[in-house]
Amino acid sequence: MIALSAIEKRFGSTTVLHGVDLAIPEGRVTALIGPSGSGKSTLLRCVNLLEVPQAGTLTLGDLRLTFRPDNPPARRAVLAVRRQTGMVFQNFQLFPHRTVLENVTEGLVTVARWPQARARARALELLERVDLAHKASDWPASLSGGQQQRVAIARALAPSPRLLLCDEPTSALDPGLAAEVVDVLAGLAGEGMTMLMATHDLRLARRVADRVVFLEGGTIVEQGPAADLFGRPGDPRTRRFIRTLLGEPADQP
């Protein structure tokens, strides 16, 4: 079970998330959509505690954390969460002084303490999976944006996480390069990878997501199966937002 319950997150006097409840079905892809500032990236980052909520509960398998403003989670609890999650960032976050292969093996060797040979074999397997094994010895700067993001996905998958978190994985890419990343994520979805992604990319959400959650103002306005929410949204705010993604007039009946 993967779930967030009554999650509240504040930055100073500004409340970004207002008591959010979200269940993340295992083996499925959940997409968070909504306007900029709606809280979707913050909610995503609360799952692996890059942002620590002030209130609420996170359940990740057998691990359950309850947040209080005066009692942050212990480091061992944070590490236990992060061992079960992989993170794909908007701007790749690759090590520029490491080769493609070394970027994928770095966490396995330095954090998980894998032997070099085992880490290398795992990295090559994943680079093959994202069609970049032939780039293993290259530097990140020599790759296109789409290739860099595919390396980042391989790196996130390296420790076999229970949940893959993707924060706007295609937003820094032009449409052609974004298509490469969409293909990789669609392949992972077809293999049953549990994913939670924040995205403005309607093509990505429509192709990959099983469920879609629309946030506005730090609250969940509407959620449901992707086909229903994109085809027949029930809330007028959801309808307006999806029309803006489609380039249609927001006030169209």
Q: Which domains does the chain have, with CATH numbers?
A: 1-84+162-253 (3.40.50.300), 91-160 (no CATH)
pLDDT of 252: 55
Q: What's the pLDDT tens digit per position in 205-223?
A: 999 999 999 999 999 999 9
Is 239 in contact with 58 (CB distance < 8 Å)? no
Q: What is the β-pairing status of strands 55-60 and 2-11?
A: antiparallel
Give this prediction's pTM: 0.93
Parts of the chain with a pLDDT under 70: 248-253
pLDDT of 217: 95
Q: What's the pLDDT tens digit per position in 125-160?
A: 999 999 999 999 999 999 999 999 999 999 999 999
pLDDT of 76: 94
CA distance 54 to 140: 37
* CA distance to 37, 129, 165, 253, per residue, from 99 (Å): 35, 17, 23, 52
* HSE-CB for 185 with a 13 A CA cutoff: 35
